[in-house]
Structure 1
Amino acid sequence: MSQKILTANEIGVLWTQYMENSMTLPLLDYFEKTLEDDEIHPLLEVAKQTANNGVSQCTQIFKDEHLPVPDGYGKEDLNPNAPKLFTDAFILNFLEHLGKVGLTSASLSLGTSASEEVRDFFTNRIERQSTLYNQCVELGMNKGLYVRAPQVEIQDQIEYVKGKSYLHPFNKRSLNAIEISHLFENYKTNSIGEVICQGFAQTGKNKTIKKYMREGKNLSIKHRKLFSSVLDESGIQTPMTSSNFLTMATDPVFSDRLMIYLIGVLSSAGHGNYATASSASLRYDLIFTYQRLSVDIAMYAKDGMDIMIKNGWFEEPPQAPDRQQLIQ
């Protein structure tokens, strides 16, 4: 293969894909060892193949471009003998979330890429993540584990906004369908974050990590309850599965650095979700709420980054040369 010069965009998104896929593999290996439901196994296999493909293809592109292959994450970040921590119901929900996050990431990455090889890579990623997401939703619905968004009655005639009061921050009109969608999806993602933080807190041994995970759990609960209360104000109940997602296991499962990195990835996805929801919402109180909660996530993510840097766990992304330093 002839050498090609990748743009900064392409190097950045490929590096991120490598890191996130290498981090996902120990998670999926653990799920595979502890999963009991045979119907979920094929979906787990799809997720593993997708992650393995991401790592191998990124590695090949980096080598072809004479770029260093990141260290990433691996088997050393998993305790293979750890007992079951997450229930099968949570594993299915997590795989659905993984497909959704992967779709968003691959779509954004494709939109910033020019190289045909890189565009083909992300096009393939979108197809794979779509397959995973669709299969998870279908199985979840068949098992009664998929949490559908609220159903509401919609007026039977088209209406036009008749005044600025529709946007007024103190006029809490009933929610429109777009606002309901974002509130509910952010409710769901915080519910997943709450479970993961609780699981990591109860299996972690490092006091700093346990404290950080407890803070993450409390933050997820705070945000989840806020979204639920906004829906309640419009008479919309928040449906949620009653399945228990965690066992009582306390043995360490994942390395501290992997746990912190995963929380960072989820925080970044949540931050993006809030930005999208803020721009799509027409009630100004919702816009202010999303912006305020985004600060919560940013500060929490910064604390996680500080922990990683302090412990030497943060692998530096590729960066441009420091021209000022070269002058000195």
Structure 2
Amino acid sequence: MSGPVRAAREGAGPDERVVLDNGVLRLTAAPGLGGRVLSLRLAGREFLYRNPRLLDAGLRRREGVRLDPVEGPMSAWNNVGGDKTWPAPQGWSGPGEWAGPPDPVLDSGAYAAEVGALGGGAAVLTMTSGDDPRTGLRLRRRITLEPGASGYRLDLTARNTADAPRTWALWNVTQLDGAARADDGGVYVGVAGEGPHTVPLVAGDATPRVVEHAPGVLRVPAQDVVGKVGFPTAAGWIRHVGAAGALTQTFTPAPGAYPDQGSRVEVWLEYPLEHPLAHLGGLRPQDRVVECEVLGPLTELAPGEEASLSIAFDLAPAGA
């Protein structure tokens, strides 16, 4: 029988790390860097992308690197990597759109962290953002890891701390290594109902290609493109298959209108470019990265009200 999940904390500020380890899965979070999960290691392999120019293999800041809260155009974004939560819709045309990343509170600000124990030897890590004056939101990310499990549960809430109603959707973004896998690599999305099953959202240099893998399953193959595609009919799961193995996220689609032309799930791809993309705020990708993104519905929140979204993460090593 597996023993209780071990929890450890070290460092402070942007260098604080919280580790949950059940002997099967080792999860490392960085509360001081936007409440991110920086690392998911299973069977000795890393599943998440992290920026090697900012962090070393031990998840420490490289010499001379500053990771203070930052705002501005996308060219100023310190994309550390990992798994994080943002508000949607994204945009720069008005107060009803989240003008990030970068963002000095929800993306790169410090989150308060609490570690606790649950019955049966489980551990829970709760990371809570500051109150963001631009969106009126306070985000909370609650991670629960059970003994012997190869996955974990992520419970998200967005609380309106403003003095007027605000309308937002929760948007969880998981960055993974986008290095090509020769056989079945890529992103798989379950879909159901009437189409269209996909909508083009962002064309950095093109829109990602999507193919039918099987009835009710679409696939975004590994490809050299900077862009995003949305899935309005996503049925409740998305899976990335890469060199480390498969990471599957499952969720329950909620009724209501979704941002980005109704997208419940979105996939962003990027690869190294020689020149920045002026129409994307000077963004210049330097690595191959895949983003698997799960969204909740747009919700009008009165002052003090909360929206929620729960996602189950399951990891399987390559060859399993």
Same fold (TM over 0.5): no
| TM-score under structure 2 length normalisation | 0.27
Find the structure with the greater CA-based Rg.
Answer: 1
Task: Name whichever structure is richer in helix by fraction.
Answer: 1
| TM-score under structure 1 length normalisation | 0.27
Task: Name whichever structure is richer in strand by fraction.
Answer: 2
